[in-house]
Amino acid sequence: MTTIFFTSFYGFISRNVFATGLLEHLLQQPEVRVVILVPFYKKAFFEQYFAADNVLIEPVNTSLVVNSRVNRLFARLFGVLLRTFTIEYRTKERLAANRTVAGMSIYACSRAITALFGRSRAAHTMARHLEYRICSKGSLRSYFEKHAPACVFATDLFHDMDAALLREARSLGVTTIGMVRSWDNNTTRGLCRVLPDWAVVNNPLIADELVQLQSMRRSRVFVGGIPQFDRYITGKRASRNELFGRLKREPSKRLILFAPAGAQLSDTDGQVLELLRQAVDDRRLPGDLQFLVRMHPGCPAALDRFSGDPLFYIEAPGVQFAERPKDTELTPQDAEHLGDSLLHSEIVIHVSSSIGLDAVVFDKPQIMIEFDGQATRPYLSSIRRYHDEDHMRLFIETGVARIAKSPEELISSINLYLEDPSLDSAGRERGRQQQCWLLDGRSGERIGQFVLERLNLGAEATSDSAQMPASSVLGG
């Protein structure tokens, strides 16, 4: 039996990795066993949805690693050991929120480290070597002794727990594969603490970032696509009547999906709903509209006052855990519902969200809000700054969305898209090509096959469904 460790310490990994074809493809090999390591409070959730004959859920006490002083020290250091626009502006943002002597001292130290070493490969190599030598490699040893894995697949290269498991695996000579979980990780999460033997990414853009910013060897990077989008391509979507019945909405009215930024990022989501309500009342927007307000699963907005308004249907997807309410997981049903909602929406409105990636799969017009309600705010407290983040700036530059810089532009853009949904379709196609790479419904399968081949398993598979594009493993 060949055992593969998979990590799942960050929310949404259940949807983005395990609810795809990846596990199914791995388990076609009868000698493969998968052990999913999760925080102890998520054990019941993962057992309900993913446990099987050859899939074991292993709970882990993450505090042993995450709360250690050494881990916290290196987490802070690696957070500023990379120089990107996003990291530098967030350092300024923290200073603006903490203008004390201690805050200014931390800011000055962080800026100095970033300026001196943020683009130094030698410094990055030295920092990784130092961390490997100093950080404990015994706190997770018992899991390796219990299961004897042949491979560790870290689903979030930038998570503290994933880094600890990769260090442990390296010290024991176990093969390591790491995944860049999200499109913004390379430019927002600082320097990757442990580089794996092999890396898996969604698209060539993220691969380039991993090579250029994190010093990963190009020949060790595999482009697999975005697994959570496979079901958008291959799954059966609910009809319009089925979805609207589920939402208790009128099928004769058009639906617009609004994804609030959430209280952590903005306090103006309520003002946006008030603006939309007033525009419908004043007939500046058509009267046959209704809005699906889909909260961010881990960062809800304070919108209780709209809960009884028939114009808005407010939903809060995901399962929360009492131990950490912000650490949310989406059920397979939540993921299917999102696909149905996108399919039957006319427009998607958001501030700066990965839902923009989901929207381009369905070729939906999208509008990104770039104004702060009724106020004019300084840059570091304005939502304008989110559109300048490295990953979002590249996405916006494709022309994928209309940027509403005022309430008037938001209303105008909604009306334009309602009249002609084909507007900006070329920009949406560029955004789709940039971020989604290959939308064929087989990303999970591709990644699963890649894992098997690293372990010299399943190499005899020659069916068309098992083949990978020649460009998947990058040369160089």
What is the per-residue pLDDT for 473? 54
Render 263-297 in DSSP notation, one character per residue: TTT-S-HHHHHHHHHHHHHTTSS-TTEEEEEE-BT
With left for phi above 0 and alpha for psi between -120 and 50, is residue 424 left, alpha or beta?
left
At 367 the three-state DSSP class reads strand
Burial label for 181, CB within 10 Å (0-12, 13-18, 19+), is buried
- DSSP-assigned letter for residue 361: H
Into which CATH architecture does domain 2-67+123-226+439-466 fall? Answer: 3-Layer(aba) Sandwich (3.40)
CA end-to-end span of the chain, whole Å?
A: 34
Hey, where are the domains in the chain? 2-67+123-226+439-466, 231-436
One-letter identity of residue 363: D
CB 37 within 8 A of CB 45: no
Q: Please answer whether residues 25 and 46 qualify as being in contact, where contact means their C-beta atoms are separated by less than 8 angstroms.
A: no
Q: Report the pLDDT value the prediction gives residue 472, as an integer from 0 to 100.
A: 57
| CATH placement of domain 231-436 | 3.40.50.2000
As a whole number of angstroms, the distance between CA 472 and CA 220 comes to: 10
Q: Quick check: do 2-67+123-226+439-466 and 231-436 share a fold?
A: yes
- Encode the chain (476 residues) as per-residue pLDDT tens digits: 999 999 999 988 999 999 999 999 999 999 999 999 999 999 999 999 999 999 999 999 998 898 899 999 999 999 999 999 999 999 999 888 889 999 999 999 999 999 999 999 999 999 999 999 998 778 899 999 999 999 999 999 999 999 999 999 999 999 999 999 999 999 999 999 999 999 999 999 999 999 999 999 999 999 999 999 999 999 999 999 999 999 999 999 999 999 999 988 899 999 999 999 999 999 999 999 999 999 998 888 999 999 889 999 999 999 999 888 788 999 999 999 999 999 999 999 999 999 999 999 999 999 999 999 888 899 999 999 999 999 999 999 999 999 999 999 999 999 999 999 999 999 999 999 999 999 999 999 999 999 999 999 975 443 333 344 544 555 43
* Cα of 451 vs its chain's centroid, Å: 21
Per-residue pLDDT at 113 = 95
Q: Where are the beta strands (DSSP E) in 330-423?
A: 347-350, 366-369, 402-404
Instruction: List own/partner pairs for 375-384 with CB under 8 A and 24 or more apart.
Output: 375/268, 380/89, 380/92, 380/93, 380/96, 381/96, 383/261, 383/265, 383/266, 383/268, 383/351, 383/352
Record the pTM.
0.92
